[in-house]
Amino acid sequence: MSNEQTDYDTRTSETFEVTINFLSTLPKILGVKERINIKLKNGSNIIDLFDKLIEEVSVSFKKIKDALITDNYKEFGDNIVILLNGKNISAYEGLETIINENDEITMFIPLGGG
């Protein structure tokens, strides 16, 4: 194996840490802390984040991932909001939005009142 191949393999396996905040009722529903940090591979998107959360934190995240993919939120209310650095991911590429080092993700279920 050449040095070039080794350098490429090292670059593609690099990871970074991202902070995720869970607001509203999500921590209780998912059984997680309000704030967690998780390592992702470079080039990861929101779907990859959910796969990592399912694998390393709780299988409960599969319910949210499935709801987001099918656009069926009956278990969570009307919607689940995901913000990337304070801006809704729908303003970017939705679930395909790439996450970068030092990004902060916030997830919550909007509460209605009246």
* pTM of the predicted model as reported, rounded to 2 decimal places: 0.78
Give tens-digit pLDDT for 54-80.
999 988 888 888 878 777 656 555 678
Residue 113 has a pLDDT of 56
The residue ranges of the chain whose pLDDT is under 50 are: 1-11
- Residue located via tokens 């030092």: 102
Q: What is the pLDDT of residue 10?
A: 45
56, two tokens: 């390393």
Show the domains of the chain with their CATH numbers: 14-108 (3.10.20.30)
For residue 114, what pLDDT is reported? 54
- In angstroms, rounded to a whole number, what is the distance separating the alpha carbons of residues 18 and 38? 6
**CB 36 within 8 Å of CB 57:** yes
